[in-house]
């Protein structure tokens, strides 16, 4: 018998409400057992789950960095490629405000990568290395680059 994806989907659509109702009743009737099974599985698989979560978060981070790095895992300003020092930059310098709106604080959070992906990677972000992030912030503050002679003049003054 040949598998017909469209036919199977139509069957699913006809049955989904009935199955959802059955699952709700089953859950209520077996709630204690299901929760105990879930707790037991979690206790028995803590390392496996932690490894999965870590890998999942890294995957989402890398996807975002590549997207905002114009298809490359690299800083768009200088081309630096070590992913450990790459980050997502808010182009309009509103990162702290954005984090406060999202989380109520301004700490970095892995949820940013999920948020970006869920919104199909909106505009307003770019991949920068931490050096370029720092330089961008200093430029925003009006601090200019010192030439070698200017550094020499300052330290010998």
Candidates 140, 116, 33; CA nearest to 68 is 116
Residue 108 pLDDT level (bands cut at 50, 70, 90): low
Token readout for 100 is 């406060």
Per-residue pLDDT of 58-73, as tens digits, reads 999 999 999 999 999 9
Per-residue pLDDT of 1-15, as tens digits, reads 577 888 888 888 889
Mean pLDDT, to the nearest integer, of 39-53?
Answer: 95
Q: What is the pLDDT of residue 25?
A: 94
**In a 3-state reduction of DSSP, which class is residue 32?**
helix
Token readout for 91 is 């182009």
Mean pLDDT check: name the lowest of 52-56, 76-80, 106-110: 106-110
Q: What is the pLDDT of residue 23?
A: 93
Q: What is the pLDDT of residue 1?
A: 57
Token readout for 38 is 């879930």
Q: Does position 148 have pLDDT exceeding 90, yes or no?
A: no
**pTM, full prediction:** 0.70
Q: Does position 95 have pLDDT exceeding 70, yes or no?
A: yes
**In a 3-state reduction of DSSP, which class is residue 74?**
coil
- Percent pLDDT > 90 in the chain is 62
Buried b or exposed e, range 55-68, using 16+ CB within 10 angstroms: eeeeebbeebbbbb
């Amino acid at each position: 018998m040949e598998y017909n994806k469209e036919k199977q989907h139509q069957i699913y659509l006809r049955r989904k409400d009935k199955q959802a109702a059955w699952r709700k009743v089953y859950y209520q009737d077996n709630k204690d057992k299901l929760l105990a099974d879930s707790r037991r599985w979690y206790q028995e698989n803590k390392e496996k789950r932690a490894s999965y979560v870590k890998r999942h978060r890294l995957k989402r981070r890398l996807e975002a960095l590549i997207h905002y790095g114009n298809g490359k895992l690299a800083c768009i300003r200088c081309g630096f490629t070590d992913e450990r020092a790459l980050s997502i930059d808010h182009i309009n310098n509103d990162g702290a405000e954005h984090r406060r709106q999202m989380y109520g604080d301004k700490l970095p959070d892995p949820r940013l990568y999920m948020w970006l992906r869920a919104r199909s990677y909106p505009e307003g972000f770019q991949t920068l290395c931490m050096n370029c992030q720092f330089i961008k912030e200093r430029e925003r503050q009006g601090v200019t680059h010192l030439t070698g002679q200017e550094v020499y003049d300052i330290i010998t003054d």
